Amino acid sequence: MLMSTKPMFDLAYSGGFGVGAFNVNNMEITQAVMEACHAERSPVILQISKGARAYANIRFLKKIIDACVEEYPEVPIAIHCDHGDTVELIQQCIDDGYTSVMLDGSHHPYEENVAITRAAVDVAHEAGVVVEGELGMLGGIEEDVVGLDAEEYHKNIEQFLTDPEQARDFADRTQIDSLAVAIGTSHGAFKFKHEATLAFDRIENIMKTCPGLPLVMHGSSSVPQDLVKIVNANGGKLPGAMGVPEDQIARAVRTYGVCKVNIDTDLRLAMTAKIREVFTADPAEFDPRKYLGPARDSICELVKRKLQMLNSAGKTDEVVAHWNKEGQPLPAFYSRAGAGV
């Protein structure tokens, strides 16, 4: 069932859970995420980045997601543009049928970020699409998103975290529907040299200055060490890969107003670890079904674990009931029956 993120966030904000936002690039990843959400009865946000659009061709990704909507009609699904960087791209995503978009202007000076985000909001809200903005800076690198050097970032982290008073001004002037905040997370597999500690006091203060505004955590993959070990044991080279501890992510969504948690790196690790393991066990294997199938299963199990951690498992019926009760609108090109993308 296609919907915007609003009915999900309405419940998540005060309900002690977060919605997993999983980046999808191909059929196997998308199938794995959806099968896990179906099994765990969890709402889901399928994210398509600028890089994914270029890699897979949005026409193909749209058809894959269309198949997911038909195959899993009971699962609440939002289609989200991850790290959109121009109003033109936002318009393309809206035209392509996304139900949620992000305008990431965090790399611009503040006033420019306000202006470009507000322009995106005007375009999106006209079409009935919700908008996520970003304020503050993250470290690390992932796809087209180049953050600050990890060492520089964590040495001077206080100056890059989201300022609560500025967040109030940003939300008021842009009229965004959710806000991605910098609270100590970082992009990629090499996020930290030491175990991370999220700035929970900063989240709490943002909740005070922006009451009711759903918050989003980017750079939130936990980089499971069991997967890192499998990669390294089978010819990979990921020395020192480290992510955000799952207990801290769980605390952020269960205690604070974090409604959306972005996960991408962990999916890649699950897929790569299993493929490397298959090739090591049978170097003569060349049938893609024999390594992509197990890789898909590996991602599915990882996502199930994430949904339990986010406390979103079992929330499907609640989200659907709220959506039906509130009569949440979809963009004009959708029917309430949940027609495909």
Q: How far apart are CA 287 and CA 51, in angstroms?
A: 27
Stated as kind and residue range, the H or E segment containing 106 is none
172 is catalytic: no
Strands 100-103 and 145-146: unpaired
Bridge partners, 131 (sequence order) = 101
CA distance 99 to 81: 9
Evaluate whether 329 touches 128 at the Cβ level (below 8 Å): yes
- Find the catalytic residue in 10, 82, 104, 266: 82
Whole-number Å distance between alpha carbons of 232 and 227: 9
Q: Where are the alpha helices (DSSP H) in 158-245?
A: 164-174, 200-209, 225-233
- The residue to which tokens 């910098």 are assigned: 182
* Contact of 98 with 129, CB cutoff 8 Å: yes
SS3 label, residue 295: helix
Query: To the nearest 10°, the Cα dihedral for 304, 84, 132, 154?
Result: 80
Q: What angle do CA 5, 7, 12 make, to 5 degrees?
A: 85
* Residues sharing a CB contact under 8 Å with residue 168, sequence separation 6 or more, in sequence order: 209, 210
CA distances in angstroms from 81 to 92, 130, 259, 287, 293, listed in the order given: 10, 11, 16, 33, 27
Question: 């398509």: which residue's tokens?
Answer: 48
b (16+ CB within 10 A) / e for 265-276: bbbbbbbbbbbb
Residue 33 DSSP code: H
Active site members: 82
